[in-house]
Amino acid sequence: MDWNMIGNLAQAISGIAVVISLLYLARQMRQGTATARAAAYQSFAEQQGAFTIAFLEDPRLTSVFHRVVVKRESMTTFDDLDKTAAIMMCVLQARIYDTMYRQVRDGILNPDDLSLIANITYLNSPAWKEAWPRVSQALSPDFVAYFNERHGAENG
């Protein structure tokens, strides 16, 4: 066996090793992405759960939730305390939505995953529309622009 043949064999073996390494890295990246997605979904579920529990534990907050979400009342009929609770409800939901938006933007979640929150019906309720100008001031400009585009100018 001459040295050229040994050199060619070594190059072939190293080429195969590189391909195997790249395949392994791709697999690891997919697993990392799947783990990040699972954590993002878990976080969403926990945030929504905490949000719901907070409003169910307090009869007054439950009433505000019912008036905003089910009865779709305008906040003009609310007293100051109920109006504050309704605005805070909108802030909490907007923060959850903003978090998911960022996870989509950063490639952790798929764009279709935003429909989990984007299709919540009270995002076009009178109370939400009244709260949005105040709520949007506490959010990132890129999310506010996305929200206004997706949900219409009447919210912005």
Q: How do residues 96-109 score in pLDDT, each as one tens digit?
A: 888 889 888 888 88
pLDDT of residue 67: 93
Q: What percent of the chain has pLDDT over 70?
A: 87
Mean pLDDT of 25-31: 72
The pTM assigned to this predicted structure is 0.67
Q: Which band of pLDDT confidence, cut at 50, 70 and 90, is reported for residue 12? A: confident
For tokens 């605005």, the residue is: 87
Mean pLDDT of 141-150: 91
Q: Which of 39-48, 126-135, 144-153 has the highest mean pLDDT?
A: 126-135
pLDDT of residue 156: 45
Answer left, alpha or beta for residue 2, where phi above 0 means left and psi between -120 and 50 means alpha.
beta
Whole-number Å distance between alpha carbons of 74 and 79: 11
By CB neighbour count within 10 A (0-12 exposed, 13-18 middle, 19+ buried), where does 93 fall? buried
